[in-house]
C-alpha cells in the first residue's frame, strides 16, 4: 500500500512493512485490549484521545490504541502527528492536547498506515468518511453517492481481523449499511478465509462530536446510541462504550437494530437542518413586517416544548447538517426500495444551501451599483469561534459577490487560509482602515466581532456605508449608534432596524 503513495519520497515513515509490524508488535502490551481506530479525522482524533485515556477502576490504562489512515497526500502527516502525541486536528478545546500528552506518558497510543494492525485488533472502530456529493449547490436531486471507497476500507479490515474482533462503525452511513452492505461483505470474506461467520461481531454507534470548546467532552460526556447485528455484538459494543463514556451521567441507549441506530443519526441531523430552513421563511416575513425575530423566538423558547426553535442566520455549514438528509434519502430509495423522497428533510438541505443568497439580496436592494465596491466578509468559518471552513456558507456568498464584480476581502480571527477556495484570509482587523471598505458583512458570530464597539467599527472601516449583520453579532444599541453616524444597517431577521 505504501508503494502506491505519490509522496513516498517525503514520507517520514518510509520503512518497510516488516519494520512496521515489529513496531506494532513491540507497542502492544498483551494484558490490554488493542483498539484500532480507522480514520484520523475529526472523529477519529477525538476517539484516539478518549480511548487512550480510558482507565480501569484502579487507574490502569485499558487499551493499546492504534490509529490507522492512508499514507496519501491528505493523511500521511496525521500519522506522524499522532506518533509525536500531537492531535492531528486543530481544536479550540484545550483538553484535546492534554489527552494526547497523557497518552505520551502512558505510551499507549501510536499510528500507522499498515493494515497489519487489523490482525492484532480486539476492536476496530471505523471513523472514516462516507460522502455524498452535490453536483450543484442546492440541487438535491443531482447528487452522487457510492459505497466504493468505504467498502474498500471495510474489505481491508475483513481480510485481516480475527474472529471475535468487534467492528464498531461510527461513520454516518445511509440506514441499512451495516446490515445490508457491511455484514454480507464481512460474511463473504470470512467464508473465503474459512473463518466462522457466527463469530462475526459488527456494531454501529454514532458519536455526536461537535467542534469548539467541548470537543472531547462531546465524545466522552454525552449520550451514546448503539446497536449491533446480533446480541453478542450489542453486548461487546456496550462493554466497550462503558469504558470510555461517562455512562453514569449519560446512560447508554441500545436500539433494536443497526438500521435504527443509523437512522437515529441522520434523523437528528435532518431535524436540526429542517428547523433552520423553517426559520428562513419567518426571517423574511419578520424583515417585511418590521419585526425583531430574535425577540419573538426568545419569547417562544420559554415554552419547554418549543425551546429548540432555531434563530435566524446567514446559512448552514459543516460536514453533517449539509448532507445527512441526502444520505438518508438515498438509503430510503436504494436500501429499502422506498418510492417517495424524504421531502422535508431534503428540501431543507436545498433551502439551507441557498440561504446566503438572502443576505446578498438584502445588500443588492440597498446598494445600487456593486461592481468595484470593497466588501469585507467577516467570518469564513461555518461556526462561531471555531476555525472550520468545511462547506462554509460564506462560500456561496463569496461567489455571488465575485459574480457581481464586488472587490471581496476576507477576515476571520480563527482562520488564515481558506483551504476550499485557496485564498488568504486577513486576521488583523486594523488592516481594513487603509482600504476603501464600503460594506462589511458579519457572517459569523465570532467573539471578536460581537465585542466591537461603534467607535472601533468606525475606526476599522472609516468609509463604511453599509453594515450587514447576518449572524446576530451586534446589538440594537450599536446598530442605532452606527445609523446616527450615517451608516446604514441591515440585519437578517431584524426587521426593526430601519
| Shorter beta-carbon distance to a copy of itself: residue 241 or 332 | 332
CB 439 within 8 A of CB 367: yes
- What sign has the CA pseudo-torsion 26, 27, 30, 35? negative
- Cβ neighbours around 283 below 10 Å, total: 21
Measured from the CB atom, the residue of 32 and 301 that comes closer to a copy of itself is: 301
Binding site for a copy of itself (CB under 8 A): 175-176, 208, 223, 225, 250, 253, 255-257, 259-261, 263-264, 267-268, 270-272, 274-275, 277-278, 281-282, 284-286, 288-293, 295-300, 302-303, 305-309, 328, 332, 335-338, 340, 342-345, 347-348, 351, 496
- In angstroms, what is the minimal distance from the CB of 223 to a copy of itself? 4
From the CB of residue 249, how many other CB atoms can be counted at a distance below 10 Å? 9
Residue position matching grid coordinates 477576515: 411
Which CB, 95 or 218, lies closer to a copy of itself? 218
Number of Cα atoms under 13 Å in the Cβ half of residue 254: 16
Which neighbouring-strand residues pair with 225?
206, 253
Task: Spell 149-163 as b/e; 16+ CB within 10 A means b.
Answer: ebbebbebbbebbee
| Minimum CB distance to a copy of itself, residue 436 (Å) | 35
CB of residue 156 vs a copy of itself: minimum separation in angstroms?
28
Q: 307 vs 422, which CB is nearer to a copy of itself?
A: 307
Our CB check for a copy of itself shows the closer of 165 and 280 to be 280
Exposure string over 457-466, b if 16+ CB within 10 A, otherwise e: bbebbeebeb
Shortest spacing between CB 301 and a copy of itself, in angstroms: 9
Compute the least distance from the CB of residue 361 to a copy of itself, in Å: 12
- Cβ neighbours of residue 52 under 8 Å, at least 6 residues apart? 61, 63, 65, 99, 102, 103, 106, 108, 109
Where do we find the cell 451608516? 487
Least distance between a copy of itself and beta carbon 271 (Å): 5
Nearer CB in complex with a copy of itself: 250/417:
250
Q: Which residues contact 152 (CB under 8 A, 6 or more apart)?
A: none
Cβ at position 345, least distance to a copy of itself in Å: 7
Specify the residue, 126 or 225, whose C-beta has the smaller distance to a copy of itself: 225
Amino acid at each position: 500500500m505504501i508503494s502506491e503513495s505519490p509522496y513516498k519520497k517525503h514520507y517520514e515513515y518510509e520503512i518497510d512493512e516488516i519494520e512496521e509490524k515489529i513496531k506494532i508488535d513491540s507497542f502492544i502490551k498483551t494484558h490490554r485490549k488493542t483498539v484500532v481506530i480507522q480514520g484520523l479525522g475529526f472523529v477519529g482524533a477525538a476517539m484516539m484521545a478518549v480511548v487512550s485515556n480510558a482507565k480501569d477502576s484502579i487507574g490502569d490504562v485499558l487499551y493499546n490504541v492504534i490509529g490507522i489512515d492512508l499514507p496519501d497526500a491528505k493523511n500521511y502527516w496525521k500519522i506522524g502527528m499522532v506518533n509525536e502525541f500531537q492531535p492531528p486536528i486543530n481544536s479550540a478545546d484545550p483538553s484535546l492536547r492534554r489527552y494526547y500528552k497523557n497518552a505520551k506518558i502512558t505510551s499507549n497510543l501510536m499510528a500507522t498506515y499498515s493494515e497489519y494492525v487489523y490482525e492484532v485488533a480486539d476492536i476496530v472502530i471505523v471513523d472514516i468518511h462516507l460522502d455524498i456529493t452535490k453536483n450543484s449547490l442546492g440541487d438535491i436531486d443531482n447528487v452522487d453517492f457510492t459505497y466504493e471507497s468505504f467498502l474498500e476500507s471495510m474489505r481491508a479490515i475483513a481480510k485481516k481481523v480475527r474472529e471475535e474482533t468487534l467492528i464498531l462503525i461510527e461513520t454516518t452511513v445511509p440506514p441499512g449499511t451495516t446490515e445490508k452492505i457491511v455484514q454480507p461483505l464481512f460474511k463473504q470474506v470470512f467464508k473465503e478465509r474459512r473463518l466462522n461467520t457466527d463469530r462475526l461481531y459488527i456494531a454501529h454507534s454514532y458519536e455526536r462530536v461537535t467542534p469548539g470548546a467541548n470537543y472531547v467532552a462531546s465524545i466522552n460526556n454525552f449520550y451514546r446510541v448503539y446497536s449491533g447485528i446480533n446480541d453478542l455484538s450489542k453486548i461487546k459494543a456496550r462493554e466497550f462504550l462503558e469504558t470510555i463514556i461517562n455512562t453514569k451521567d449519560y446512560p447508554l441507549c441500545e436500539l433494536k437494530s443497526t438500521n435504527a441506530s443509523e437512522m437515529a443519526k441522520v434523523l437528528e441531523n435532518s431535524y436540526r437542518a429542517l428547523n433552520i430552513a423553517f426559520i428562513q421563511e419567518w426571517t423574511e416575513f419578520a424583515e417585511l413586517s418590521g419585526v425583531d425575530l430574535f425577540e419573538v423566538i426568545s419569547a417562544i423558547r420559554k415554552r419547554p416544548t418549543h425551546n429548540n426553535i432555531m434563530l435566524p442566520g446567514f446559512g448552514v455549514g459543516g460536514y453533517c447538517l449539509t448532507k445527512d438528509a441526502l444520505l438518508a434519502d438515498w438509503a430510503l430509495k436504494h436500501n429499502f426500495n422506498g418510492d417517495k423522497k424524504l421531502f422535508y428533510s431534503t428540501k431543507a438541505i436545498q433551502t439551507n444551501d441557498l440561504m446566503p443568497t438572502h443576505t446578498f439580496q438584502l445588500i443588492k436592494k440597498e446598494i445600487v451599483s456593486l461592481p468595484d465596491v470593497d466588501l469585507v466578509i467577516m467570518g469564513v468559518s461555518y461556526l462561531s469561534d471555531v476555525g472550520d471552513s468545511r462547506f462554509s456558507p460564506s462560500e456561496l456568498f463569496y461567489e455571488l459577490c465575485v459574480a457581481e464584480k464586488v472587490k471581496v476581502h476576507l477576515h476571520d480571527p480563527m482562520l488564515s487560509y481558506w483551504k476550499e477556495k485557496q485564498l488568504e484570509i486577513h486576521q488583523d482587523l486594523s488592516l481594513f482602515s487603509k482600504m476603501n471598505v464600503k460594506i462589511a458583512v458579519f457572517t459569523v458570530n465570532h467573539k471578536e466581532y460581537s465585542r466591537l464597539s461603534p467607535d472601533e467599527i468606525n475606526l476599522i472601516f472609516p468609509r463604511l456605508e453599509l453594515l450587514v449583520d447576518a449572524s446576530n453579532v451586534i446589538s440594537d444599541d450599536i446598530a442605532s449608534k452606527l445609523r446616527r453616524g450615517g451608516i446604514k444597517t441591515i440585519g437578517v431577521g431584524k426587521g426593526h432596524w430601519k
